[in-house]
Each structure stands twice: as C-alpha cells, then as structure tokens.
C-alpha cells in the first residue's frame, strides 16, 4: 500500500482540511471495499469451489429466496448462509454486522408502514393508536395486523438472506475470478475485459491520488484558505485526468502491440473437481426441496 | 544479410507539438542488436512505436520484412497477426503493459489474441513464467508487485509470443542493481538465441555490452550517427553533442561561477 497508517494519520491531522480528509477517506474506503481479498484467500469451503459453479448456484439460491413466500424456508436459507460463512472461515460477527448494518435502515423503513392496518388490513395483533374524531379516510384505530407483520418479516428476511448470499459470494471469491466466471452467464467478453482493466487501474489511480496529496502536504506550511484549497483540488483533478488520458492511450498501444483487434479472447483455466460437483448436487437437491415445499 | 527494418527519411510529428523525429534513415539486420541512443525527449520511444506499427510516419517510409508499414497494411488481419507474432515491444513503464487483473492473464493475452490454441497458450505461459522465475506470481495482481517483478512480468508477456524481434524501451529504467544485472543477462541470452534486438536507451552500459550497432539521436530529433556500437561509444564529442554524457568540467565551472556570485 502506498500510504502507511502513520503517514495517513499525519496527513489527516489537520482537522479543518475537510476536502483532503474527505478524499483520503474515500480513497481508503474504496481500497478496502475493492481490494480486501482477505477472506477470499482463506482455505474455507466456499473459497475452494469453482467460481463459475459458485456464481450459478448462488444465483439459484437468490432466485429461491426471491420466490419463496414461506418464513420457515427463508429462515432456513438464512441459517444456511450463516453455516456457510462459518465453514468458509468468515468471522460470524463480521458477516452478520455487514449484512444487518443497513437492513434496518432501508428494508425496515420500507416494511414498517406495511405492518399497520392502514396499509395491510387483517387480524389485529395490538393497537398502536386510537384516533378520536379521525378524518373519514383513516380508521378509528391504528393497529398492527398479523398479515402485515408476517409480510414485513418475510420482506426483511428475504432482503437479509439475499444480501447474505451476495456478501458470501463477494467475500469468498477473488474479484478477478468472479469477473471471469461471468463468462458462463454469457456476459460479453469485452465487458469482462473492461471491468478487469478498470479493477486493475483503479488501484494505480488511487495510488497517484495519494501521491498528489502527499506532494501537496510536503510543500504546505500553515493553513490554506478555501479558495486555495479549491484551486488545488481543481488542479489535482485536472492533472489526474490528464495522466489518466495519457495512460489510456499508452495502454491501448500496448494492447495493439500484443495483437488486440477489438475481439477479446480471455484466458480461462477453470477445472471442475469432485467438490464442485458435490456442491452442485447439494444446491440442486435443496432447490427441488424448496420448490416442493413451496408448492404444497 | 536479411534486413528486418528499413527506414527511409522517416519523420513523425505529434499533434500540436514540435517534431518528434526528423529524417531518420537506417536499417536493421536480422539477428543483430542495435541500440537507439539519445537523451530524454529525443524521440527514441516514438521510433520504437513506429517500428512496431503503432504509429505511422508522417514523412518517409518504413519497411518491415520487406513490406511497407502503413495503416492499410495493418488492416490486412492475417498479415498484422503475422507481424505481431514476430515483433514484440517492451514498454518502458510496466504499468502500461500490464493491464489485466492477474499475471497469468497478462502473459496469456498476446498468444490468445493471436489465435494460438488454448493448450499451446497454456504451455507457453507456464514456460515463460518458469524461464523468468516468476511462476509463483501467476495468480497475483500486477498492482502489488515490485517494479522489478512488474518488469519481469512485462517481459514474460512478450516472451510468451517468442518473437524474432524484440523492441525494448529503456529496459533498465527504475530497476534495482540486482534486477538490472538480471536484465543484462536476459538481453545477452536473447542475443545468443539470434534474436533481433532494438534497444532504446540512454544507458551507455547496455549499448556497450549488448549492442552490435548503435544509432544516435540528438535533441533536435535527428539521427546524427549510425554504425558500430563500440566505435560510436568511443566518440566523446558525439556523445556530448547528443547529451549522452556530460563534461564534468562544465559543472566545476558552474559551481565556481555560483560561488563567485555569492561572494559579490
């Protein structure tokens, strides 16, 4: 990594350097999000499965989670993701936190109104509010309905299970392999190539951005005003854009030099082993079971 | 003697800027190594790109393997594939050359693009990685390799094609001494295999040790000398004119003038 932690702390020590702090934190967050492959390198269950198999089977699991309307099935699928996380050596508290951090904010806010009789009529569970002299379009009592609560629970658990499945896939698969696995879904090769190159160069430009910050810091004495900061920021963005443009031209020439003709042929060295077939079989049986239970 | 490249009064301009190359005439024979010598900005890298058919001359002409290099010629796909298989370019900045997410992808890119079978590509990739001692890096991403490792991967990405002609842009740039020595050995091995090498550099040690011939570009982007490498490298006046060496006396004089100014 280009910027060590102590440098970063020093770099961010100016509490009022809002722009620099925002950009540095953004850079750090992007790095963490994109390049953290710590768990993908662990010798766990899901890490050992061929990424193509994993991608397809996880899509099937996602479809099942979206299709089923049974709370017990969704609960079972969610428990399965927890079990898979443990078998894949992902710390369970980290995994649960990552999944549940935003669910109450987003899914919860969407589901909350649906639990009341105003939105979902049904059998009352408990009264929340009694309205005296309520307008004609509102009922005299607002209560939580059994149907509403069930629907909201289904919704939240479906979101949690789907997010868990997606997070498991991303945490246990290296980006490079995940991108290549998209080929089995007939994702265009040019798209895979462009995504791969984007992934590769994001790091380089993050590194450049950090260098620009450090270069500025090494030449800055005292506190600069907002105008100066804005001028510097605009100049840095312009400079980075110029560098990116120049590099894109050079990269294109390097591609042409090695035979690029606009039709990508990418390497693919995946091989299916017994473990992959076993996983495929397990997901197949599970799917049949869930569909059978759901259709009863 | 078979001529690989034949340049006749070649000139090149970048858009909206001064000329990058002017009136370059020389030829490169098969199995020889030639050093393109010149100071920074003299047009060495541009010349390599012209030889690789990435740019085309604004004036004059370049023939490769007896065929005129033009954009129309490169639209003939079969011919272009043949040319790309025979000529490999190593860029100065490995970050430019390593554009794929893993080292293995990178080394496999050229042979796959040029239509080799997947089995053949696999053999070539393993062979290139083993030859350069970087098999352990195969599944690593280029962004977290050292400069020396990046350079080796960039070489492997050309080696997997096994081209007859190697165009090398500043091969020793930003390498530590050990990797630099390794690079020199690698260049020797290419010469011993009878490959044609065109090395753009301002490092005179490479020219003296590896090149049979040399071309010298000056800072006005013109070819000022072409001939036996050791003869040209012994010509101090020529090297001074091309800004390839400096006269130590100039700097001593500059310091004396500076001190005198401070005293006054």
Question: What string of H, E and C letters represents the secondary structure of A138-185?
Answer: CCCEEEEEHHHHHHHHHHHHHHHHHHHHHHHHHHHCCHHHHHHHHHHH
Q: How confident is the model at residue B47 (pLDDT cuts 50, 70, 90)?
A: very high
Give me the mean pLDDT over the A215-223 stretch.
Answer: 76
Cβ neighbours of B109 in A, within 8 Å: 255, 258-259, 267
Measure CB to CB from residue A267 to each of B97, B104, B143 and give the nearest one: B104
**Separation of alpha carbons B241 and B219, rounded Å:** 9
Q: How many Cβ atoms are within 10 Å of B31's Cβ, its own excluded? A: 16
What pLDDT, on a 0 to 100 scale, did the predictor assign at position A3?
46
- Residues B90-128: tens digit of each pLDDT: 999 999 989 888 899 899 999 998 888 888 999 999 999
**Separation of alpha carbons B103 and B155, rounded Å:** 11
Alpha carbons within 13 angstroms on the beta-carbon side of residue B256 total: 6
Axis-axis angle for helices A146-172, A92-100 (nearest 10): 130
Cβ neighbours of A200 in B, within 8 Å: 98-101, 141-143
**Separation of alpha carbons A209 and A88, rounded Å:** 35
Measure CB to CB from residue B102 to each of A176, A201, A268 and give the nearest one: A176
Give me the mean pLDDT over the A209-237 stretch.
Answer: 79
Considering Cα of A176, then A178, then A184, then A188, what sign does the dihedral take?
negative
Name the nearest CA neighbour of A216 among A49, A23, A34.
Answer: A23
Of the two residues A138 and B134, the one the predictor is more confident about is B134
Q: In the structure encoding, which two tokens stand for residue A221, read together?
A: 């004495």
Assess whether pLDDT exceeds 80 at residue A38: no
Give me the mean pLDDT over the A23-52 stretch.
Answer: 77
The per-residue DSSP string of chain A comes to: --S-HHHHHHHT--TT-HHHHHHHHHHHHHHHHHH--TGGGS--TGGGS-HHHHHHHHHHHHHHHHH---HHHHHHHHHHHHHHHHHTT--HHHHHHHHHTTHHHHHHHHHGGGGBTTTS---EEEEEEE-TT--TTS-SEEEEEHHHHHHHHHHHHHHHHHHHHHHHHHHHS-HHHHHHHGGGGT--HHHHHHHHHHHHHHHHHHHHHHHHHHHHHHT--S---HHHHHHHHHHHHHHHHHHHHHHHHHHHHHHHHTT--S-----------HHHHHHHHHHHHHHHHHHHHHH-
Measure CB to CB from residue A203 to each of B91, B108, B143 and give the nearest one: B143
Lowest mean pLDDT among A30-39, A105-114, B140-149: A30-39
- B77, B125, B143, best to mutate vs chain A, most A CBs in 10 Å: B143
Q: What is the pTM of this model?
A: 0.76
Cβ neighbours of B122 in A, within 8 Å: 269
Assess whether pLDDT exceeds 50 at residue B198: yes
> Exposed, middle or buried: residue B13 (CB in 10 Å: 0-12, 13-18, 19+)?
middle
What pLDDT, on a 0 to 100 scale, did the predictor assign at position A132?
73
* Beta strands at B223-228 and B213-217: parallel, antiparallel or unpaired: antiparallel
ipTM entry: 0.86
Alpha carbons within 13 angstroms on the beta-carbon side of residue A228 total: 8
Residues 6+ apart with CB under 8 A from A251: A197, A201, B96, B99
Could you tell me if A194 lies within 8 Å of chain B, comparing CB atoms?
Answer: no
* Beta strands at A141-145 and A124-130: parallel, antiparallel or unpaired: antiparallel
In percent, how much of chain B has pLDDT > 70? 93
What pLDDT, on a 0 to 100 scale, did the predictor assign at position B79?
93
Assess whether pLDDT exceeds 50 at residue A95: yes
Assess whether pLDDT exceeds 50 at residue B196: yes
Residues of B near A (Cβ–Cβ under 8 Å) read: 49, 52, 54, 77, 80-81, 84-85, 88-89, 91, 93, 95-102, 104-105, 108-110, 112-114, 118, 121-122, 125, 141-143, 157-158, 161
Of the two residues B64 and A228, the one the predictor is more confident about is B64
Measure CB to CB from residue A204 to each of B49, B95, B100 and give the nearest one: B95
Lowest mean pLDDT among B68-72, B175-179, B245-249: B245-249
Q: Give A247→chain B minimum CA distance, Å.
A: 7
**Contact A255/B99, CB-based, under 8 Å?**
yes
- Kindly report the average pLDDT of chain A as a whole number: 82
Give me the mean pLDDT over the B155-182 stretch.
Answer: 91
Strand partners, B168: B90, B199
Assess whether pLDDT exceeds 60 at residue A5: no
Q: Which residue reads 């091995």 in tokens?
A: B189
Lowest mean pLDDT among A100-104, B17-21, B100-104: A100-104
Assess whether pLDDT exceeds 70 at residue A33: no
Distance of CA B150 to the CA centre of its chain: 16
Of the two residues A205 and A163, the one the predictor is more confident about is A163
**Contact A260/B113, CB-based, under 8 Å?**
yes
What pLDDT, on a 0 to 100 scale, did the predictor assign at position A19?
63
Cβ neighbours of B110 in A, within 8 Å: 258-259
Helix (H) / strand (E) element for B214: namely: strand B213-217
**Separation of alpha carbons B80 and B65, rounded Å:** 12
- Kindly report the average pLDDT of chain B as a whole number: 90
- Residues A116-174: tens digit of each pLDDT: 888 888 888 888 777 777 677 777 778 888 888 888 889 999 999 999 999 999 889 88
Q: Give B260→chain A minimum CA distance, Å.
A: 30
Give me the mean pLDDT over the A259-283 stretch.
Answer: 84
- Residues A61-84: tens digit of each pLDDT: 999 999 998 899 999 999 999 999
Lowest mean pLDDT among A145-154, A191-200, A263-272, B203-212: A263-272
Give me the mean pLDDT over the A232-245 stretch.
Answer: 86
Cβ neighbours of A265 in B, within 8 Å: 112-113
Name the nearest CA neighbour of B106 among B153, B152, B146, B148.
Answer: B153
């Amino acid at each position: 990594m280009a910027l060590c932690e102590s440098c970063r702390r020093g770099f961010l020590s100016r509490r009022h350097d809002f722009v620099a702090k925002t950009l540095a934190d953004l850079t750090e967050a992007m790095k963490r999000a994109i390049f953290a492959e710590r768990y993908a390198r662990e010798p766990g269950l899901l890490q050992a499965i061929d990424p193509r198999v994993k991608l397809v089977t996880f899509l099937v699991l996602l479809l099942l989670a979206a299709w089923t309307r049974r709370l017990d099935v969704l609960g079972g699928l969610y428990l399965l993701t927890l079990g898979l996380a443990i078998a894949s050596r992902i710390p369970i508290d980290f995994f649960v936190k990552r999944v549940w951090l935003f669910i109450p904010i987003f899914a919860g806010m969407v589901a909350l109104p649906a639990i009341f009789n105003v939105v979902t009529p049904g059998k009352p569970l408990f009264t929340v509010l009694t309205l005296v002299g309520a307008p004609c379009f509102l009922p005299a009592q607002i209560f939580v309905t059994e149907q509403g609560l069930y629907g909201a629970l289904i919704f939240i658990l479906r979101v949690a299970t789907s997010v868990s499945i997606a997070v498991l896939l991303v945490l246990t698969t290296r980006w490079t392999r995940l991108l290549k696995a998209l080929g089995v879904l007939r994702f265009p090769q040019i798209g895979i190539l462009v995504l791969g190159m984007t992934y590769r160069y994001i790091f380089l430009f993050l590194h450049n951005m950090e260098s620009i910050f450090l270069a500025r810091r090494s030449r800055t004495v005292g506190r600069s005003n907002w105008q100066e900061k804005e001028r510097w920021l605009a100049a840095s963005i312009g400079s980075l854009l110029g560098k990116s443009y120049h590099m894109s031209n050079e990269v294109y020439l390097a591609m042409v030099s090695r035979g690029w003709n606009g039709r990508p042929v990418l390497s693919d060295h995946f091989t299916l082993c017994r473990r992959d077939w076993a996983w495929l079989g397990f997901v197949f049986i599970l799917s049949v079971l869930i569909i059978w239970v759901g259709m009863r | 003697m078979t001529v690989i490249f034949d340049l006749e009064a070649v000139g090149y301009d970048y858009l909206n800027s001064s000329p990058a190359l002017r009136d370059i005439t020389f030829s490169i024979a098969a199995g020889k190594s030639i050093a393109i010598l010149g100071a920074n900005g003299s047009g060495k890298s541009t010349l390599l790109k012209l030889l690789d058919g990435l740019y085309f001359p604004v004036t004059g002409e370049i023939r490769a393997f007896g065929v005129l290099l033009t954009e129309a010629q490169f639209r003939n796909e079969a011919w272009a594939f043949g040319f790309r298989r025979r000529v490999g370019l190593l860029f100065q900045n490995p970050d430019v050359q390593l554009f794929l997410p893993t080292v293995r992808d990178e080394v496999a890119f050229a042979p796959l693009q040029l239509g080799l079978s997947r089995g053949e590509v696999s053999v070539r990739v393993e062979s290139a990685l083993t030859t350069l001692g970087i098999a352990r890096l195969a599944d690593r991403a280029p962004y977290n390799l050292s400069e020396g490792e990046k350079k080796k991967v960039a070489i492997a990405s050309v080696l997997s094609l096994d081209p007859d002609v190697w165009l090398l842009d500043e091969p020793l740039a930003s390498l530590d001494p050990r990797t630099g020595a390794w690079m020199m050995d690698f260049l020797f091995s290419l010469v011993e295999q009878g490959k044609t090498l065109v090395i753009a550099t301002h490092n005179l040690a490479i020219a003296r040790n590896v090149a049979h011939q040399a071309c010298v570009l000056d800072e006005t982007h013109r070819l000022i000398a072409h001939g036996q490498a050791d003869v040209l490298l012994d010509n101090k006046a020529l090297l001074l004119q091309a800004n390839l060496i400096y006269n130590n006396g100039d700097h001593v004089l500059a310091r004396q003038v500076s001190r005198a100014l401070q005293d006054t």
